[in-house]
Structure 1
Amino acid sequence: MKNPLANLMQQAQNMQENLKKAQEELAATQIAAESGGGLIKLTLNGKREILNLRIDDSLLTDDKEVLEDLIIAALNDGMRKVSKLKEEKLSGLAGGFELPAGLKLPF
């Protein structure tokens, strides 16, 4: 007969290893974001670090506030994309984690 606690511990260890692997993959992923129809482009990684920022030359003669707004819009686009990717990568990790019969958690 299998030990339910040992089985639970093995599942927890496997889930922890999968989580670490998913976090490493996410950190290495590069996400492209933009605003102003591509006038502002940036690349960030899964740790939300900006790796690259490109500003179209035509914006350098525009109003400073327009440039600031476009940069903020591009950053927000990138952050949303990272959050979505993180959710997708990490959502399936707990699947298959089975609790022993009768064990109830408070959440």
Structure 2
Amino acid sequence: MFGDMMGMMNKLKEAQEKVEATKKRMDSVLVDEQSNDGLLNVTITANRTIKNISVDDDLLKDKEQLEDYLVLTLNKAIEKATKINEAEVAAAAKDGMPDIPGMNDMLK
């Protein structure tokens, strides 16, 4: 019994380490997004840190249009990055979890 508990605790620690390593790795996963017409390009990490914004000169002529483009394009990039991040972290957590009866039903 005690050995099983120690084994589960070790598995949980390994799972936590995998999740932390995955979170750190997400800093190097880049997500590119652009406006529909390609006038604005954004690059962010899967941890949702902005790395680059490229603006076409045509957008610099209209402040309100540029602001709208930034909001829309950044939100699309953040949504993509969040999906990638959540999927990768969930996979790392599930992969490292010990086999605890009934736990899979709770995670659904």
Q: TM-score, normalised by structure 2?
A: 0.81
Determine the structure 1 residue equivalent to 2:17. Answer: 17
| Larger helix share, 1 or 2 | 2
> Partner residue of 1:84?
83
Establish whether residue 39 from structure 1 lines up as the match of residue 39 from structure 2. Answer: yes
Asked if 2 retains the 8 angstrom alpha-carbon contact of 1:26 and 1:46, the reply is: yes
The CA RMSD over aligned residues, in Å, is: 2.4
- Please state whether the residue corresponding to 2:37 is helix, strand or coil: helix
Alpha-carbon distance in 2 for matches of 1:2, 1:85: 38
Q: Residues 55 and 102 of structure 1: is their aligned pair in 2 closer, same or farther, counting only changes over 3 Å?
A: closer
| Counterpart position of 2:3 | 3
**Partners of 1:46 and 1:25 in 2: how far apart?**
9
What is the DSSP-based 3-state SS (H/G/I as helix, E as strand, rest coil) of the residue aligned with 1:38? coil
- Structure 1's consecutive aligned runs of 4 or more residues displaced over 6 angstroms after TM superposition are none
- Of all paired residues, the percent bearing the same amino acid is 26
Deviations along 1:43-71, whole A, 9 cap, x unmatched?
Answer: 1112212111111111122x321111001
Counterpart Cα distance in 1 of 2:51 and 2:85: 18
For residues 57-92 of structure 1, the C-alpha deviation after alignment (integer angstroms, 9 at most, x for no partner) is 11122x321111001111101100110111220122
Across the two proteins, how many residue pairs are aligned to each other?
103
Amino acid at match of 2:74: L
Structure 1: gaps of 5 or more residues: none
Q: TM (normalized to structure 1)? A: 0.82
- The answer for the alignment partner of 2:69 in structure 1 is 70
* Residue identity in the other structure for 1:11: K
